[in-house]
Structure 1
Amino acid sequence: MHTVWKGAISFGLVHVPVKMFSATEDKDISMRLIHKRCGSPIAYVRQCKTCEVDVEWEDIAKGYEYEKGRFVLFEKEELDQLGSDGNKTIKIVDFVDLHEIDPIYFQKTYYLSPDQAGGNAYNLLLEAMKQSGRIGIAHISIRSKSSLAAIRVMDNCLAMETIFYPDEIRPISQVPGLPDKVEVNDKELSMAAMLIDQLTTPFEPEQYKDDYRARLMDLIGKKIAGEEVHVAPEQQRTNVVDLMAALQASLEAVKPAGGDEDKSGKAKPAAKKKTARKKAE
Structure 2
Amino acid sequence: MHTIWKGAISFGLVHVPIKMFAATEDKDIAMRYIHRACGTPLSYVRKCQHCEAEIAWEDITKGYEYEPGRFVLFEKEELDSLSETSREIKILDFVHLTDIDPIYFQKTYYLSPGDTGSGAYQLLLEAMRQTGKIGIAKVSIRSKSSLAAIRVMEGCIVMETIFYPDEIRPVQQVPNLPDNIQASEKELTMAKLLIEQLSTPFEPDKYKDDYREQVQELIAKKVAGEEIKEAPEPQKTNVLDLMAALQASLEAVRTSVPPVTDPARPSSSEAAAGAAKTNETAQGDPGQEAAVTPKRRRSSKVKETV
| Fold match (TM-score > 0.5) | yes
Asked whether 1:91 is paired with 2:94, we answer no
- Alignment partners' CA distance in 1, 2:58 and 2:119: 43
Asked whether 1:136 is paired with 2:135, we answer yes
Shift in Å at residue 77 of structure 1? 2.3
- Please name the residue that 2:162 is paired with: 163
- Please name the residue that 1:2 is paired with: 2
User: Which letter maps to 1:219?
Assistant: L
Runs of 4+ in 1 over 3 A off after TM superposition: none
User: Which letter maps to 1:38?
Assistant: C
- Alignment partners' CA distance in 2, 1:80 and 1:113: 28
Q: How many residues align?
A: 227
Bigger helix share: 2
- Alignment partners' CA distance in 2, 1:109 and 1:179: 34
Shift in Å at residue 116 of structure 1? 2.2
Structure 2 residues not aligned, in runs of 5+:
228-306
Asked whether 1:27 is paired with 2:35, we answer no
- Alignment partners' CA distance in 2, 1:11 and 1:55: 47
Asked whether 1:189 is paired with 2:188, we answer yes
Asked whether 1:180 is paired with 2:175, we answer no
Contact 2:110 2:159 in 1 (8 A): yes
Deviations 1:175-227 (A, max 9, x none): 11111112212222221111111101111111111111111111110001117
- Alignment partners' CA distance in 2, 1:124 and 1:75: 43
- Please name the residue that 2:109 is paired with: 110
- Alignment partners' CA distance in 1, 2:83 and 2:73: 17
- Please name the residue that 1:121 is paired with: 120
SS in 2 for 1:3: coil
User: Which letter maps to 2:57?
Assistant: W
Contact 2:61 2:76 in 1 (8 A): yes
- Alignment partners' CA distance in 1, 2:117 and 2:128: 17
**Aligned-pair Cα RMSD in Å:** 1.4
- Please name the residue that 1:208 is paired with: 207
Contact 2:85 2:140 in 1 (8 A): no
- Alignment partners' CA distance in 1, 2:79 and 2:126: 37
- Alignment partners' CA distance in 1, 2:149 and 2:84: 21
Deviations 1:130-172 (A, max 9, x none): 1221000011111122111000011221100000111111111
- Alignment partners' CA distance in 2, 1:69 and 1:77: 24
SS in 2 for 1:128: helix
State the TM-score, normalizing by the size of structure 1.
Answer: 0.77
User: Which letter maps to 2:136?
Assistant: I
State the TM-score, normalizing by the size of structure 2.
Answer: 0.71
Contact 2:84 2:145 in 1 (8 A): no
- The alpha-carbon distance between structure 1 residues 77 and 6, as it changes in their structure 2 partners (threshold 3 A), is farther
Shift in Å at residue 107 of structure 1? 0.6
